[in-house]
């Protein structure tokens, strides 16, 4: 039995851009790729730790031509990640990965909105 949240799912734009952002830019691991069982023509992408443990998973339904989201009641506006000690991810390594302009500039690699100023 899993206690707490197993995973959180969001809607995304093109699958390739979503994969690039979460693996190459943020350095997460794609731990599973399956289908959306309510819409079998759509992938269900799972990102998380190296073993895909419950509570570490962020998933997406990538829809190629989805309209941009609008901030409103019940919509998530920010997602935060905890970086474990000893993971090798430091402020310096993450800054190098994100490059000039930081995450706000890199966020346009996917159709997600990251934070209130995006």
CB atoms within 10 A of CB 105: 12
**pLDDT of res. 56:** 78
What is the mean pLDDT for each group of 10 consecutive residues in the chain (118 residues)? 74 91 84 92 89 81 86 76 67 68 47 39
Domains of the chain: 7-66+85-109 (3.10.180.10)
**pLDDT of res. 102:** 53
**pLDDT of res. 28:** 85
Query: In 3-state terms, what secondary structure has residue 12?
Result: strand
Cβ neighbours of residue 11 closer than 8 Å, sequence gap 6 or more: 60, 61, 63, 66, 69
**pLDDT of res. 59:** 93
**pLDDT of res. 104:** 47
> How many whole angstroms separate alpha carbon 88 and alpha carbon 12?
28
């Amino acid at each position: 039995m899993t206690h707490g949240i197993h995973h959180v799912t969001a809607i995304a734009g093109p699958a390739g851009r979503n994969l690039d952002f979460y693996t190459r830019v943020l350095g997460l691991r794609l731990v599973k790729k399956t289908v959306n069982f309510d819409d079998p023509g759509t992938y269900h992408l799972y990102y998380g730790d190296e073993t895909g443990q419950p509570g570490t998973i962020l998933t997406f339904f990538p829809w190629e031509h989805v309209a941009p989201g609008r901030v409103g009641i019940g919509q998530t506006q920010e997602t935060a990640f905890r970086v474990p000690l000893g993971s090798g991810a430091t402020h310096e390594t993450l800054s190098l990965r994100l490059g000039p302009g930081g995450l706000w500039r890199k966020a346009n690699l996917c159709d997600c909105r990251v934070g209130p100023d995006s």
